[in-house]
């Protein structure tokens, strides 16, 4: 019985080590991460601007659109 338990523990341990190595391999590859971060940040800012514009019920639509256009132009400059 002890031998069987040792085999099971070793299999679980080996499986966990393999899983850990695989996850580390995925997390160490950071190629393209900054692009995703900038796109995510831009999406959050645009969503926030639309939320502010809809909360103002037409009172600040011009302000919100000016802010969104300025942020959009800043984002387009980042790629250049």
**pLDDT 10s digits, 27-56:** 776 777 778 888 889 999 888 888 877 777
Q: How confident is the model at residue 1 (pLDDT cuts 50, 70, 90)?
A: low
Match 């393999």 to its residue by tokens: 18
48 within 8 A of 60, measured Cβ to Cβ:
no
What ranges do the domains of the chain cover? 1-30, 31-80
Q: Does pTM top 0.75 for this prediction?
A: no
């Amino acid at each position: 019985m002890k031998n069987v338990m040792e085999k099971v523990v070793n299999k679980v341990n080996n499986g966990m080590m393999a899983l850990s190595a695989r996850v580390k391999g995925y997390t160490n590859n950071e190629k393209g991460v900054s692009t995703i971060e900038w796109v995510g940040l831009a999406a959050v800012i645009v969503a926030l601007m639309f939320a502010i514009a809809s909360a103002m019920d037409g009172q600040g639509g011009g302000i919100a659109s000016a802010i969104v256009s300025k942020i959009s132009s800043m984002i387009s400059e980042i790629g250049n």
